[in-house]
Chains A and B, each alone.
Chain A
Amino acid sequence: MPDVVLWGVELPFLLVIFIVSGLMHLIVDAFFARKGIYSQVWHPGLFRVAIFMCIFSVSGLIFYVY
């Protein structure tokens, strides 16, 4: 993947993916909290991080493998 150039600074494309997945995760997180899903899982904190890792790695794989 090509680097992103922002005002002359080269940034890795993975950073862009990271930020976008972060934003996606915010939406998912708000939805889960409203639906009360966090009270159904054993370790809510771990669950939340795991969900983020899933989103981040899936989108990373999509861009870097295909």
Chain B
Amino acid sequence: MSVNLNESSRANFFEGRRLRLLFRKLYRASSYYSHAIYIAKIVLAALMALCLSLAFNLGSPRTAVFCVFLVMQTQTGLVFQKSYFRLLGTLAGATVAVILMGAFAQTPEMFFFFFAIWIAICTAGSFIYRNFQSYGFVLAGFTVCFVALPITGSPENVFDVAVNRALEMFVGVLCAAFVSDILFPQRMADVIGQKLLTRFKEFSEYIRLSPMLIKNGGSNKEALLRFSGDALGFEAAHVNANFETSNLRRYSMLLKMLNHDFMSLATSLHALNQLLRRIHTQGNNLVFSRLITLYDEFSVAITPSFMRKNDIEVVLVQLQEWLRKEPFPMGSASALMDQSRELSRGDALDLETGYELLESVAQDFEAYCALQLKLIKAKEVPSIQGQDDVGLDYLDMDQKSLRFSTRTDPALVLVAVARGVAVLTTLAAFWVATGWTLGYEPILNGVAAGTLFASLPSPVAFIKHVLIGWLIALPIWLLWNFLLIPLASDWIGLSLILIPPLALMAYLANSPKWAAIGAGLYISFILHTSLEQSFVIDFPTQLELFIADFIGFATAGIFYILIDPNMGGWGRRRIVANLRLQIADICTKNSKLSRERLESSSRDLIQKIASQGRLANESDAWVFDWMLSVLEIGRATIDLKVFFQSEGAHQSESFLNIFHGLKSLFEKPSNASYKDAFSAVEFAIDEISSGNLKIQTHLESFSKRELLSRLHLLRSALQNPILLSHGGSI
């Protein structure tokens, strides 16, 4: 009997192992699968675009092929969005090219003057907008080069060239869209729900582990940064997925709410962790142990007992039960007083703040949980009768307040503009000075590279890799151009011959490690092989073109090195200055106070750091700490201001002092202004809790509690050591 049992368990063991292996294989294969799909998509669309352009007798079919390579993404929504802005950018650029050529064909100086202004406008636009909008602006800038410069000798052709370019773009975009939406649909909408669920699970795990981390004195800033980057990435994904054929648009409002709740929860949680860490190292042990016990209880409440599909439902019920038990003695102030009678004033305030923060974290988490659950349920029921928009019951919320806002530093925009214009003028001067017939070629590539890569984390490294790819492509296109392509007798033959290099380049461009080299390869290959109606064989010109393009890219690279905002930490200091300015704005201006605005634009400001997903060095960590601190303080300040605006309460002297103190602290941080702000907050706390405040008559006990809790939060957030780093030391 026992032998049998053993055997069956062994069989089970092997069965399990085999299953595991199978799953592992499938998992690995799935990444190959998505790679393969991507390559198939790009090659098919490129060849379609090539054949269509040849069939329609368009001037340079290579533009259509190039367009496919640039536009193609792994997911359909991204392809649509990028195509859309590419088309808009091309149309704008082609129109401007026609106008400029029409007006200044005889006077090259004027032409370049206005062209430089146009490049400046477009570069600025590309910095103010995000993602593919930014791409559209860049494109509008350098399309002028592509349309106008090659035909400076025969300006009367400009209209035909412009129309041709727009048509080629259109063919490329249509082919890419057709292939990725109809032949190989890979929808973002399918992925978004899954991603949100993963984020939910990761975040609850993060909360669960927080008490332990605090007890051990550690912190997990990288995870927090990742969540910050997620919030931005999700916003982009959500916008892009709206282009897809799917039901996602129905949940639009719900998704926005979810991201909003997520960001606000992340901020509250950080404030709580920060406070606990401070009490642990400097404060009273009794206070710490009381708070951490409660925190532990909370983290137990959000731990699901089974890993099941309806985890979230279980967690939500547990959490609501825990909240119903009223672990927070906040409702009765006297209970708290009893607890904190033996404590010193500072410790008592810490204890109160801890309670309030924990309560707000628990409530925020409950809201987040409920929304996530709602989304899952909404997705399970494909169409709810008589209900158009699943987020409909949130419509009473101000929709505008949920708008994701971005914030750009004007100084960084100016730097980018200066760089773009410098590349243009240098190369134009080179052209005029040398009188080289192909002198316009470096301008095309230089301006394109000099504006397009500006938003990358490290443009210089990218250009370096592009140039390496460029050189590797040389033997490949020589082989294809002079030996293989002449073998083709018709379009099918040409397509078959082109498959191997296109597939290789698509593969490289899609793998994160080789992306830049792949880009260099396909730019070089497509630009230099003969893809015209009639085959051209002209080695010297081809080589001249190759050198010209190389000069263009290299010049752009040099200007990225010369005009680099990150040099000496200047860019980082600017980011922090802008973060701080937000608080000063909140304190002085009366309009446009919204948490969403603060949260999203702060996260947007540190986008370059957040999109890397890791804190590369000290200065990145410094910027990130500042952002978290600004979020904490900004939220409390917004709440206080909104309270005074809505209740019709007269702003009392002590509150005006707080706003004034914060404003001067965040405009010009110094020890004196820090002390002023801090004492103003403490003074207001004393006034309210002792009942001396004149606005007391307006206040119900509830709102008095609210006010106090915001003040406590401010006091705690102001104790962050980063505020004393004065913005100068990096």
Contact = CB atoms under 8 A, between A and B. Distances in A.
A63 interface: no
B249 interface: yes
B182 A36 contact: no
A46 B180 CA distance: 11
B435 interface: no
B383 interface: yes
B382 A39 contact: yes
Task: Classify chain A's interface size.
Answer: 10 to 19
A2 to B, nearest CB: 20
B185 A33 contact: no
Interface in A9-66: 9, 29-30, 33-40, 43-49
Contact of A45 (B245, B250, B389): B245
B313 interface: no
Contacts of A43: 182, 185
Nearest to B178: A49
Nearest to B384: A36
Contacts of B384: 36
Given A33-B250, A35-B388, A49-B182, A44 B382 contact: no
Interface string B314-341: 0000000000000000000000000000
A61 B146 CA distance: 38
Contact of B389 (A34, A37, A38): A34
Interface in B382-441: 382-384, 388-389
Contact of B185 (A37, A39, A45): A45
A35 B383 contact: yes
A34 B250 contact: yes
B639 interface: no
Given A35-B383, A39-B383, A49-B182, A44 B246 contact: yes
A33 B181 contact: no
B181 A39 contact: no
Contacts of B249: 30, 33-34
Interface residues of B, number: 16
B247 interface: yes
B228 interface: no
B638 to A, nearest CB: 34
B182 A46 contact: yes
* Most chain B beta carbons < 10 A, residue from A38, A39, A40, A49: A38
Contact of B245 (A35, A36, A40, A44): A44
A38 B182 contact: no
B76 interface: yes
Contacts of A34: 249-250, 388-389
Given A45-B181, A45-B182, A45-B185, A36 B247 contact: yes
A14 to B, nearest CB: 15
Nearest to B388: A34
A45 B245 CA distance: 6
A8 to B, nearest CB: 10
Contact of A39 (B159, B247, B388, B389): B247
Contact of A49 (B159, B181, B389): B181
Interface string B368-392: 0000000000000011100011000
A50 to B, nearest CB: 10
A16 to B, nearest CB: 16
A27 to B, nearest CB: 14
Contacts of A45: 76, 181-182, 185, 245
Contacts of A33: 245-247, 249-250
* Most chain B beta carbons < 10 A, residue from A9, A29, A39: A39
A19 B272 CA distance: 55
Interface string B170-192: 00000000100110010000000
A36 B76 contact: no
A45 B181 CA distance: 6
B181 A38 contact: no
A25 B382 CA distance: 23
A38 B246 contact: yes
Contacts of B383: 35-37, 39-40
Contacts of B185: 43-45
A36 B389 contact: no
Interface in B235-276: 245-247, 249-250
A40 B695 CA distance: 59
Contacts of B389: 34
Contacts of A37: 383
Nearest to B185: A45
A48 B182 CA distance: 10
A5 B249 CA distance: 38
Interface in B139-194: 159, 178, 181-182, 185
A40 B246 CA distance: 10
Contacts of A9: 159
* Most chain B beta carbons < 10 A, residue from A36, A37, A44, A47: A36
Contacts of B76: 45
Contacts of B250: 33-34, 36
A4 B182 CA distance: 33
A34 B247 CA distance: 7
Nearest to B248: A33
Contacts of A44: 185, 245-246
B94 to A, nearest CB: 13
A39 B181 CA distance: 15
B382 A36 contact: yes
Interface string B191-231: 00000000000000000000000000000000000000000
B702 to A, nearest CB: 40
Contacts of B247: 33, 36, 38-39
A48 B245 contact: yes
A9 B383 CA distance: 48
A54 to B, nearest CB: 15
A4 B456 CA distance: 44
B156 to A, nearest CB: 14
Nearest to B181: A45
Given A33-B250, A34-B389, A35-B388, A47 B245 contact: yes
A40 B245 CA distance: 12
Nearest to A46: B182
A51 to B, nearest CB: 10
Contacts of A29: 245
A44 to B, nearest CB: 4
B304 to A, nearest CB: 29
B649 to A, nearest CB: 43
A3 to B, nearest CB: 15
* Most chain A beta carbons < 10 A, residue from B178, B182, B388, B389: B182
A31 to B, nearest CB: 10
B388 A38 contact: no
A34 B250 CA distance: 5
3 interchain residue pairs of minimum CB distance: A36-B383, A45-B181, A44-B245
Given A33-B246, A45-B185, 10 more contacts: A9-B159, A30-B249, A33-B247, A36-B250, A38-B245, A39-B246, A43-B182, A45-B182, A48-B181, A48-B245
Interface of A: 9, 29-30, 33-40, 43-49
9 contacts: A33-B250, A34-B388, A35-B383, A36-B384, A37-B383, A38-B247, A44-B185, A49-B178, A49-B182
